[in-house]
Each structure stands twice: as structure tokens, then as C-alpha cells.
């Protein structure tokens, strides 16, 4: 099996190495030619995972034309550049199954990532890969579980079989909107969780926030044709759990800085890798309005990030909503 | 409103103080007369929360007869002694709404705590109070949310109104079995989470374990007449999140010790407060068998605790189950 991964950040690099460990030929497309050259020359990523050696069966390249002849093409890029990347991949996509490894939305349109891939490439099965998967845990061989969602079950099975090994287990789902919405929205809740932690509030508050966040994720997923039970799964509660507690979450770290008093615009600008939640809260606001559902936590995050709402005021507004059934 | 709390451990004491802060007359029944006397004499608990002063409107007593005339009687005791405590309270219960604040099962029968209260007292509304509520967070005034489940909606409303204030928000639920099963089962998953952490596996593994745990909780809840959406809420995902990550969880700490190599029997015996999950895994095994559902994580915990299964073997068994839809 030939697997191409477009995007050589943490997650893309980890997926390429993982593909090689599963016994496949892997091509890693780096947008930065220097990254590709460095990996080819030294079998190390110049900026990430200094202790991890790239297997010989990973070929790092600067050109998307090398994806030709792939069975799977996995996209692992910031949401903001996915559409452009898909356009450049299109001529070389052949008969590959397309897989989005991106957890986010196109801000201007609110489109999900597989929708963007379908619009720009189309004509073949398109899947979303999501779940609680920090790149470094996958590379370390920690037992990890994730989900691949595709309307085409045989394509879902093909991805599942190609990317599962003893340490990494993929479950299948047919709920593409549910899996993608959950993956995008959890980053917004993770920012809120970071804010709560940064304000010095305790675990009760964090747990309440995360749970009410899961409830509002479920509302939007339900209104947009996804399944509530997806929220109970790896792409929902599982990834939310990881992102809101794990130390490596960029979204949570961004929120924590803001909770401790950092200026939101400056904190966003200085995040070392893209914190997708900072975009997703804007997309989520539009999607929620369109679907007619309330997302008070998402809205609070958006107002804190872009409209100067103070974190303390936001929390006390969230806590003083009327008492009601859960 | 007169609120009596039976049980003067961490949670019972916190509930009595919280009741007083909500403006009520609170009676705290301590099984140990020395605890009652110490609280009355010094307004401090002799063993917990050294910095917290009991308000004057909390009266600590050694005798259950003092619960007479209460509007609410809340039970906050280990599951193993609930039935006996209920019997002693019965003659003084009057017209009070009964509230279980216990997260566990009667091991021998698999009964839920409100079932025990109904069997032993009965004849009035019986509610379950659950959710992500560490006692010290409630005492510190951290924003906290919990759920009160009762088949009688007006009783649920009465509990909700009596115990909610600016910091502590109660949501209502009609799903008593779902709320109670979730509260009892999450302690089992928390032991498993502790084991994973104690083995030194990373956050991906922890998140996968917690999510698969939530899935098996949902299976049992569904088979026993509860609602899947309860698992998405405060008593389900919320409390699981708290218990599996919060430093004060006895169940998680027990698992962590075992993951690091402690002898399970000795670790259970030396836990400073009762780790309910160590009992609940036995009750859950019986309930699962009766309901015909699989609970592989619960079963693994039971076998690690009582049958000498090694934690490493258990994890690798869990990770090698067949690939399937989520």
C-alpha cells in the first residue's frame, strides 16, 4: 500500500512514520522544501521529535506530484490552507481514498474538511480520521485508538486495515458530519477549559465546563445531521478529554494563557503551531446561527478572543444561566 | 428548609456546609460521636478540611433521631453501610425527600442506592444526587454543576432549588437508573485509568480507555432502562472526566498504585477513604451478566483486583480485541 501524507507538521510526520511502521510505502509532502531535504538527509525532522528516526520507507518530498499512485492520501494541514493544498493535489490524486486528518472548519464558509476535499477533488471516497491522538504518543507506541468515518464502508475498512497495528486501533464510523464537527468543536471547548484553568478555578469547574461543552457540541451535531452517539465516542468525549487535559494541547494552552491575563490577539499570534479552536469558534458561531441552536460556551470563547469579553465575566455569565433539566 | 446529611466524611460534611451556605438549617449526622462533638466544639472537622469553618447553622449530631422534621435527608456514606443507615433513619424520616449522594452499589444484590432507600424507607420521593463534585471544590466556592435525578419532578425541583446557589448549579433529570449507574460505574473506569497512568502509558491511552469505558457504561445503562444521553451529561462524561483526571480521586489513586506494582488487596486495604470502584466492579460484573452486555474494562479491573490478572496483560488484551465499528 502506498500512503501519502500532505503536511509535515507534528501530526503529518507522525502519520507518515506510523504508515511506514504498518509496513507501507509512505510519502510525506512538506510545504517547506527545507523540511523535506532535512528529513531525507538526516532521517530527522528539523523542528519536531528530535529523538525520532524516520524509517527508510518514508520518503519526504517537497512536491505534491509524488503522491501519484497512492492508495490513500492523508491531509494533515491547518484548516486555513486545506483548500489550496487540495487543488494542488488534484492532478495527482488518481484513484486514492482521500483522508482528512484536519480538525477544523473553513472559517469563511463553515465547510467541514471532507466537504472541502470533495469540492476540490471529489469523485472518490473521502474519509475523516479523528480521535484522541497526540502525535508523540503515537510515535512512542502508546496504545492509541482513533476513528475513521466514511460513507463508503469498504473505503472505511481499507483505511482501518491499512493504518491499524498492535498499538494503534482504528474504529469505523459512518457518521462523517458527527466525527468532523466533534473534532472541530472540541478545540473551542479546549480553549474554554484552558481559560478556566488559567483563572485558577478547580477541577469541578473544568468538569462542568467540559460537560456543558459536550452538550452544546451534541446540539450542533444533531441539528446538522450527525448522530448523538458519536459524541460519546473517540472523536467526541475521547478527544475532548484528551484536548482538555493533555499537556500538549495547543488550544488548551492558548486558553490558559488568556485565563492568566494574556492579550488574546497576541496569544493567538504567538502560538507555536496553529490553535484551530481560535478559527473554529468563528465558524461554529455561524453554523450554530444557521442551525438555530445555542452554543453559549463557543460564543463566550469567540467574544473573549475577538470582542474583549473578560474571562471572569464570561464564566459568571455561563454559571448564571437559568436552572433547567440537563 | 431543614436539611439533614447522614454521614460526616468529606462529601457529607461539604454538603452540610453547602446547605448552610444556601441559607438552610443543616443537621450533620456523624456515625462517630467524637466527630460530632469536635465539630460542635471547634467548628472544624477533626480529620478533613482543616481550614474550613462550619457555619453556625450546621449542627453536628451523633444521633439519627435529629433528622426528624427535615425537608431533605441526604445520605453520604459508603455504599456498604447505606442499608443499615437507612434502617436507623426510617423512624425519623417523616415526610422528607430522600436523596442519595452515594456513588456505588450494594455488592451482594447489585441494587442501586435509591433502590436500597426505597426498600428500607420508601413511601416518599427518592432522588439521586451525582456529578463532578470534589468536596474541596464545593467548599472553596469553585463553580460546580451537578444533577439531581428523581422520577417525581416536583421533588427534583425542590432539591434543585434548595441546593443551588451562585456557585453550585443543579440540573434535573428523570433518568434515575442512568444517573446512578453512571455514578457507580465511573469509579470502576477510574481505577482502570489509574492503572494506565501507573503503568506509564500516555494520554492517548488514557483517553482511549476512558472513551471505551464510557461506551461500556452506556451499554449497561441502556440494557437496564436508562438513557444513553445521561452518559453525555454531568453524571456520565462529566464525572468520569473529573474522576479520571482529578488528583483527589481515591479510585484513580488506587489504580495508579496497582499500575505501579502495588499488591491489589493491600492497596484496597490501605486506601484512606473507601474506593467505591473496588466494590462496584464486582456488582457491575453481576449486572452485566444479568443484562447480557459485555464490559471488558470493568471485567479486567475485577480480575486485576481479585484474580491476580497482571495490569500489562489486561491492557494488551483490551487493545487486541477485534477491529470493528465504534
Output the CA–CA distances (angstroms, integers) from residue B212 to A150, A237, B224, B243, in the order listed.
21, 10, 19, 15
The residue of chain B with its CA nearest to that of A247 is: B203
A318 confidence band (pLDDT: 50, 70, 90): confident
CB contact under 8 A, B319 and A143: yes
Question: What are the helix (H) ranges across B45-152?
Answer: 79-89, 113-120, 135-140
DSSP state of A326: -
Strand partners, B74: B5, B99
Query: Of B143, B199, B228, which to mutate for an interface test with A (greatest number of A Cβ within 10 Å)?
Result: B143
Residue A323 confidence (pLDDT) above 80? no
| pLDDT per position as a tens digit, A238-291 | 999 999 987 778 999 999 999 999 999 999 998 877 899 999 999 999 999 999
> Regarding beta strands A126-130 and A144-149, do their DSSP bridges make them parallel or antiparallel, or are they unpaired?
antiparallel
Is B186 marked active-site?
Answer: yes
Strand partners, B130: B147
Query: Of B135, B239, B296, B326, which to mutate for an interface test with A (greatest number of A Cβ within 10 Å)?
Result: B326
**What residues of A are annotated to the active site?**
186
What is the helix (H) or strand (E) element at residue B231, kind and residue range? Answer: helix B228-231
Residue B284 confidence (pLDDT) above 70? yes
CB contact under 8 A, B202 and A173: no
How many Å lie between the alpha carbon of B65 and the closest alpha carbon of chain A?
33
Give A48 or A319, the one with higher predicted confidence: A48
What is the helix (H) or strand (E) element at residue A304, kind and residue range? Answer: helix A296-306
Q: Who's near A132: CB < 8 A, 6+ residues apart?
A: A144, A145, A146, A234, A238, A239, A241, A242, A243, B203, B204, B207, B208, B211
Collect all residues of chain B within an 8 Å Cβ-Cβ radius of residue A147.
Answer: 326
- b/e sequence B159-191, b meaning 16+ C-beta within 10 Å: bbebbbeebbbbbbbbbbbbbbbbbbbbbbbbb
In 3D space, the residue among A224, A213, A209 whose CA is nearest the CA of residue A176 turns out to be A224
Collect all residues of chain B within an 8 Å Cβ-Cβ radius of residue A204.
Answer: 132-134, 137-138, 142-145, 242
Mean pLDDT score, A174-191: 97
The residue of chain B with its CA nearest to that of A170 is: B323
Q: What is the ipTM of this complex?
A: 0.94
Residue B323 confidence (pLDDT) above 80? no
Distance, CA of B295 to CA of B215 (rounded, Å): 9
CB contact under 8 A, B137 and A315: no
How many Å lie between the alpha carbon of B241 and the closest alpha carbon of chain A?
6
CB contact under 8 A, B132 and A211: yes
| pLDDT per position as a tens digit, B187-243 | 999 999 999 999 999 999 999 999 999 999 999 999 999 998 899 999 999 999 999
Interface subset of B 131-160, CB within 8 angstroms of A: 131-134, 136-138, 140, 142-145, 147, 160
Query: Of A131, A207, A247, which to mutate for an interface test with B (greatest number of B Cβ within 10 Å)?
Result: A207
| pLDDT per position as a tens digit, B98-108 | 999 999 999 99
How many Å lie between the alpha carbon of B84 and the closest alpha carbon of chain A?
31
The mean of the pLDDT values for chain A is 94
A10 burial via Cβ count (<10 Å: 0-12, 13-18, 19+)? buried
Q: Who's near B261: CB < 8 A, 6+ residues apart?
A: B198
Q: What is the pLDDT of residue B147?
A: 97
Which residue among B138, B145, B323 sits closest to A164, beta carbon to beta carbon? Answer: B323
CB contact under 8 A, B208 and A132: yes
B47, B35 contact by CB (below 8 A): yes
Residue A55 confidence (pLDDT) above 90? yes
Q: What is the pLDDT of residue B21?
A: 97
Interface subset of B 97-126, CB within 8 angstroms of A: none
Q: Considering just the CA atoms, what is the radius of gyration of chain B in Å?
A: 19
Q: What is the pLDDT of residue A322?
A: 59
Amino acid at each position: 500500500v502506498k500512503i501519502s501524507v500532505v503536511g509535515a507538521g507534528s501530526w503529518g510526520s507522525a502519520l507518515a512514520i506510523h504508515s511506514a511502521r504498518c509496513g507501507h510505502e509512505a510519502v510525506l509532502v512538506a510545504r517547506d522544501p527545507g523540511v523535506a531535504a532535512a528529513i531525507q538527509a538526516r532521517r530527522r525532522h528539523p523542528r519536531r521529535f528530535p529523538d525520532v528516526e524516520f524509517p527508510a520507507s518514508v520518503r519526504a518530498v517537497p512536491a505534491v506530484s509524488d503522491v501519484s499512485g497512492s492508495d490513500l492520501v492523508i491531509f494533515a494541514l491547518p484548516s486555513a490552507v486545506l483548500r489550496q493544498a487540495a487543488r494542488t493535489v488534484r492532478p495527482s490524486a488518481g484513484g486514492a481514498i482521500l483522508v482528512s486528518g484536519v480538525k477544523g472548519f473553513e472559517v469563511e464558509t463553515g465547510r467541514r474538511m471532507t466537504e472541502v476535499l470533495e469540492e476540490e477533488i471529489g469523485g472518490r471516497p473521502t474519509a475523516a480520521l479523528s480521535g484522541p491522538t497526540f502525535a508523540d504518543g503515537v510515535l512512542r507506541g502508546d496504545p492509541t485508538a482513533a476513528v475513521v468515518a466514511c460513507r463508503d464502508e469498504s473505503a472505511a475498512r481499507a483505511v482501518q486495515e491499512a493504518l491499524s497495528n498492535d498499538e494503534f486501533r482504528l474504529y469505523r464510523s459512518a457518521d462523517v458530519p458527527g466525527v468532523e464537527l466533534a473534532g472541530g468543536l472540541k478545540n473551542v471547548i479546549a480553549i474554554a477549559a484552558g481559560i478556566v484553568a488559567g483563572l485558577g478555578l478547580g477541577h469541578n469547574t473544568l468538569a462542568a465546563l467540559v460537560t456543558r461543552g459536550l452538550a452544546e457540541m451534541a446540539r450542533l451535531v444533531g441539528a446538522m445531521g450527525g448522530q448523538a452517539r458519536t459524541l460519546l465516542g473517540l472523536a467526541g468525549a475521547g478527544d475532548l478529554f484528551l484536548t482538555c487535559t493533555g499537556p500538549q494541547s495547543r488550544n488548551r494552552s492558548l486558553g490558559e494563557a488568556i485565563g492568566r491575563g494574556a492579550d488574546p490577539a497576541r496569544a493567538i499570534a504567538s502560538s507555536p503551531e496553529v490553535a484551530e479552536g481560535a478559527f473554529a469558534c468563528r465558524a461554529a458561531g455561524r453554523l450554530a446561527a444557521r442551525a438555530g441552536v445555542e452554543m453559549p460556551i463557543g460564543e463566550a470563547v469567540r467574544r473573549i478572543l475577538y470582542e474583549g469579553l473578560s474571562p471572569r465575566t464570561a464564566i459568571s455569565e455561563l454559571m448564571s444561566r437559568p436552572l433547567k433539566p440537563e
